[in-house]
Amino acid sequence: MKKTIFLYGIALAVLLGLLKAIEYRFWVRDLSMEVYVTIVALFFSALGIWAGLRLTKARTSIPASLQFDSPTPFEVNPILLEKYKLSKREYEVLTLIAAGYSNQEIAERLFVSLNTIKTHSSNLFIKLDVKRRTQAVQKAKELGLL
Amino acid sequence: MKKTIFLYGIALAVLLGLLKAIEYRFWVRDLSMEVYVTIVALFFSALGIWAGLRLTKARTSIPASLQFDSPTPFEVNPILLEKYKLSKREYEVLTLIAAGYSNQEIAERLFVSLNTIKTHSSNLFIKLDVKRRTQAVQKAKELGLL
DNA sequence: CACAGATTCATACTTTCGGGTGATGCATTT
DNA sequence: AAATGCATCACCCGAAAGTATGAATCTGTG
């Protein structure tokens, strides 16, 4: 998260510098304020979307009813999750694996690196005592985790 | 999603109008460009974050391919098998894939070579229009093939 | 604050998967 | 007889998956 904020700051600083340079060297006051504002607005909208996704990535994939800290007493899953000691992230990865996504796609969807997904899935397989993703899906469905 | 985009446009237009009004009536050129850009940047960053959250929350609760939109429980194996033109062997391989076996294990179980299983699974994926075995399992279950 | 667990990422390596191509034999359909 | 579909197998190659190891950072709890 710190990295995200840092990158955001960098991007902001860079744009400010760029605008200032442009202002003094080329356009000065040739461009209308509307054009100017629009450029800045579009850029920071994109930046804001990106930053927003980064900052909230942890809470974007698990249905609200499955959130651990939520008071909803939704039956099986939390109990079995506790029994098999799957972390939130591992459970997320498990559901995406079951949905047929590749590790790369999962990584992109969760905004983390491929290596991270590999780590999660490996730990997942150990905890479920399986060797392959297809077995994990199979076993998870037997256990009612999915 | 359309509503979000619409609201985004409205907000953008409102801000542009506001800025123009301010520019001509009060500050004119009193404020430095840095301050000006910063205000716009902050505003649109917030707007971007908000829009980003709106646009992604709609489809992140459960992955699209996880949506079991009524698998139609009446018509099952034979008809769908015929529709998707899976051969006996391909269907056998499909069931074993769904059971979590590796190609090598399937080969041993069916007393054929690994290459044969690869061929079957490849043809299977083509017929089911999927790219991975996990997707094949997913799709086959949706279709009631398993 | 300190600690444990969780999350993230990297590097290096091995194994498995999957695509593409081609080939053979066998049974059927035309 | 020729064409077609199915099952079998092989070889090559690149992509994906998985293992092992180590490490930095974050987060929640006592």
* A79 has a chain B CB within 8 A of its CB: no
> What is the average per-residue pLDDT within B20-24?
59
pLDDT tens string A61-106: 333 333 333 322 333 455 555 567 888 889 899 999 999 999 999 9
Whether residues A48 and B47 touch (CB distance < 8 A) is answered with yes
DSSP annotation of B111: T
Query: Rounded distance, CA A126 to CA A136, Å?
Result: 10
SS3 A1: coil
Question: At residue A115, does pLDDT exceed 50?
Answer: yes
Name residue A107's amino acid: A
Whether residues A134 and B98 touch (CB distance < 8 A) is answered with yes
**B45 CB less than 7 Å from any atom of strand D:** no
Query: Rounded distance, CA A70 to CA A59, Å?
Result: 12
Whether residues B45 and A50 touch (CB distance < 8 A) is answered with no
Instruction: Tell me which of A39 and A110 has the higher pLDDT.
Output: A110
* Torsion A22-A27-A33-A38 (CA) sign: negative
Name the pTM for this structure.
0.62
Nearest to A110 by CA among B68, B66, B45, B56: B56
A55 touches A4 (CB < 8 A): yes
B33-to-A13, A19, A113, B121, B135 alpha-carbon distances in Å: 14, 9, 38, 63, 53
Average pLDDT for chain B: 69
pLDDT tens string B124-141: 999 999 999 999 999 988
B27-to-A63, B23, B30, B31, B76 alpha-carbon distances in Å: 48, 6, 5, 6, 73
Measure, in angstroms, how far nucleotide C15 C1' is from residue B127 CA. 27
Query: What residues contact B109, with CB distance under 8 A and at least 6 apart?
Result: B96, B101
Question: At residue B121, does pLDDT exceed 90?
Answer: yes
Least confident of A13-27, A74-88, B9-23, B65-79: B65-79
